[in-house]
Amino acid sequence: MIESILFIVLALLALASAVVAVISKNLVTSIISAGLVSLLASLLYLLMSAPDVAMTEAAIGSSLATIIFFYVLNRIRAKEDSRD
């Protein structure tokens, strides 16, 4: 019972932040929202008794992917700054 409630609320939050990630005009917001989708999805994996997948998703999907995105954004911004 409690698991169903947790699961439904977390799934709804994940869907909402996926919508934000897709429609947002701001790139930083959209990347953070994608990280939040990964984070909530890893909580869902945990409730579906897959702790190994949850650990990997938290480490890779939520942290490492965000770091790579920001690394690339930083490269692009540095290039645009030097061009101006």
Partner 1 sequence: MNIGSIAMGAGFLLVLIGLWGILTRTHIIQIIVSFSVVDTGVHLIMVAAGYMHQRTAPIISEGLAASDAPSLVVDPLPQALVLTAIVIGLGVTALMLAFALRIHEKNDTLEIKNIERLRW
Partner 2 sequence: MEITMIAGGVVSLSGSLFLLLGALGVVRMPDLFNRIQAGTKATTLGTMLFLAGIAIAEPSWIPKLLLLILFIIFTNPVSSHVLARSAHHTGIRMSDKTVVDHLAKTTEQRGSESLQGDEQEIAAAKSKGGER
Partner 3 sequence: MGNMLFLASALIALVALGVSAIRFFRGPDTLDRVVAFDVITIISISLIAIIGFIMQRSVLIDVALVYALLSFLGVIIIAKYVERGL
**Binding-residue pattern over the window 30 to 49 for partner 3, x denoting contact by CB under 8 A:** --x--xx--xx--x--xx-x
What is the residue type of 77?
Answer: R
Tokens of 48: 């579906």
Q: What is the nearest approach in angstroms of partner 2 to the Cβ of residue 27?
A: 5
Tell me: does residue 17 bind partner 3 (CB under 8 A).
Answer: yes
Q: Which of 73, 42, 37, 34 is nearest to 59 (CA)?
A: 42
Q: What is the CA radius of gyration of the chain?
A: 16
Tokens of 28: 């930083």
**Binding-residue pattern over the window 34 to 73 for partner 2, x denoting contact by CB under 8 A:** ---------------------------------------x
Q: Which of 15, 22, 48, 74 binds partner 3 (CB under 8 A)?
A: 74
Task: Using CB under 8 A, count the residues that bind partner 3.
Answer: 35
36 binds, among partner 2, partner 1, partner 3, none (CB under 5 to 8 A by kind): partner 3
